[in-house]
Structure 1
Amino acid sequence: MTSDQVLSSDHYFNSRANLRKGTGVEPVIFADDIYESYAQMKEYYSDEIESELKMQLWEMIDFHVIDPDGYYIRITTRRV
């Protein structure tokens, strides 16, 4: 039994069954070494990389991945 199967038929999540669970959510992970993190993602999970390394206007370097549930995850540097 999956966690979705324990929900009642009128539960909010069941009404959004055609949407991925991560829709509208962007978790942020701060990496101590963004270049090493990116290299590891590129090596093991290259299909999940949504955007390449980029210096943002707010002076942080990041890239994005999408996990199997659809979460759009930003992996970024800390502000210095």
Structure 2
Amino acid sequence: MELFVSDMDVSVGFYRDVLGFAVERRTEDYASLRRGLVVLGLGPIAKLPEHGDGPGFTGQRLSAGKGAGVEIVLELDTVDELRALYAHCQELQVVGEPLQLRSWGLHDFRLADPDGYYLRITHGDAAAPTA
């Protein structure tokens, strides 16, 4: 997955320092980050063409709302890992919605990155204890 961002340094810092991604590669125009099996690319909006006729991204298209209608789900291995990341995000005051047990049996919390991309952080163990 690749996200187009307003400020590369701010976005790299958010995904690295808040969500625990490791920077694998970084240039002025691109960053590749990894957390477990998830690889995330970040590219600067400023390098996109302003207008275009095709379905690709342009500055004009992204000015209407980055990530509108998209929920990015980061699935962690365990509920304990999820709780630890939630506590870290609380300390940094970046949580948008609190950690909750959902009706489908998984815990999650939600937040937005610096560009407003909507993130749901959850775990893959539906049999985890609810306490």
| 3-state SS of 2:58 partner | helix
The normalised TM-score by structure 1 is 0.76
Runs of 4+ residues deviating >4 angstroms: none
Shift of 1:36: 0.6
Flag the structure with higher helix content. Answer: 1
Q: Percent identity?
A: 31
**Alignment match of 2:74 (pick from 19, 29, 35):** 29
Deviations 1:45-77 (A, max 9, x none): x1x311001111100000001001111100002
Aligned match of 2:51: 10
Q: Which runs of 5+ in 2 are unaligned?
A: 1-27, 30-43
Q: Which has the higher contact order (CA 8 A, sep 6+)?
A: 1
Aligned match of 2:89: 41
1:60 aligned to 2:106?
Answer: yes
Root mean square deviation of aligned Cα: 2.2
Flag the structure with higher strand content. Answer: 2
- Tell whether the 8 Å contact from 1:63 to 1:74 is kept in structure 2 after alignment: yes
| 3-state SS of 2:111 partner | strand
> Given the superposition, is the C-alpha separation of residues 43 and 16 from structure 1 closer, same or farther in structure 2, using an over 3 Å criterion?
same
Q: Which runs of 5+ in 1 are unaligned?
A: none
